[in-house]
Amino acid sequence: MTQSQAGWIDDFASSLASSFLPVRVDLQAQLPIHPLRTVQTLDAEELLTVLNFKDESREGLVWRLNRISDRLRRWVDEWLDSGRGADGVECPANRNYEMARAVVAAIYKYSTRGKMHLLGTSDGLVLWFDLQEEKTPPASKGLPLEVYIETVASEKLVLLLNSDLSYKLAKCREPECGQYFVLKHWNRTYRGGTLCSSCQRARSLRSAAEATEDERDDALRQLHILAAKKFKGRILKSPEWHKDPALRNRIAQYLSEQIENSKSLTKIYPDGVTGRWVARRTNWEKIESTAKKEGANHVSVSL
């Protein structure tokens, strides 16, 4: 017996010994599908590292881990997608095996290879996985690489599906990202799909910027209406009205007074507006067309 084989047997013995202790149950009772009690539990950090592992290198170990990640991602994606509608709405609690047939096939294949054993413990029967990855290299020697990759990937899949992470694991749906992460609230509906924290932050900033833009458009429209209402007579009298600096300044002064009296306008125009603002083509044209609109007297302004 080689030293490494002896090491593996020691590991096996200690893992058996641990099965006589009460199995750590970190699973929540309200999960839609209840897990089997097992000796081994999932290392969430390690799983995320494997799922998020991407390296173009084609060298030995890295290449092998790449292949395992790839294989695992395909199954995990199918599982995550089983709780996602065609409209992108995602509800992790709805994940199910009926919609994840490749996953079902992978688990079945894994279990029929004799990789799982029942152990009698003081706490009843528990399942023990004959994990390929836990074995030292000599023990896995002779296993064709393809079989090794599939076995390691499927044992990770089985451990994942038998844990609460099967509902808490998520993939960022931002097309540029695709990062796998753990959800804070798995029992919730995500209208636009699940997003990792940095993409969520970026999206919130974007919508805040969009809201500000809406506020700006609204404030600008209000100024055009105010000017049109107040100076309608002068504006309609001459098409050259906007070339008159005195009139432009009077309009600007009036608008600045209105701005001062309105919180929402002050937010956008803290310094008021000037005659130059009125002289800007985009502004005077809009003021003029508003003044010309029939019933301009009835245009309402809410401040």
Selected binder of Zn ion within 90, 155, 174, 288 (CB under 5 A): 174
The stretch among 22-30, 101-109, 176-184, 226-234 that binds Zn ion (CB under 5 A) is: 176-184
196 binds Zn ion (CB under 5 A): yes
Using CA atoms of 248, 250, 255, 259 in order, give the dihedral in degrees to the nearest 10.
Answer: 130
Nearest to 17 by CA among 121, 139, 126, 124: 121
Selected binder of Zn ion within 31, 177, 182, 219 (CB under 5 A): 177
| Type of residue found at 170 | A
Least distance between Zn ion and beta carbon 202 (Å)? 8
Lookup: tokens for 69: 């990640």
Lookup: tokens for 107: 């688990």
The full length of the chain comes to 303
For residues 91 and 259, give the distance between their C-alpha atoms in angstroms, rounded to a whole number.
46
Least distance between Zn ion and beta carbon 191 (Å)? 16
Binding mask 143-172 for Zn ion (x = CB under 5 A): -----------------------------x
> For residue 254, what is the enclosing H or E element?
helix 245-260
Which residues in 50-79 contact Zn ion (CB under 5 A)?
Answer: none
C-alpha 15 chain-centroid distance: 37
The stretch among 43-51, 119-127, 146-154, 177-185 that binds Zn ion (CB under 5 A) is: 177-185
- Give 90 or 174: the residue with its C-beta nearer to Zn ion: 174
Binding site for Zn ion (CB under 5 A): 172, 174, 177, 179, 196, 199
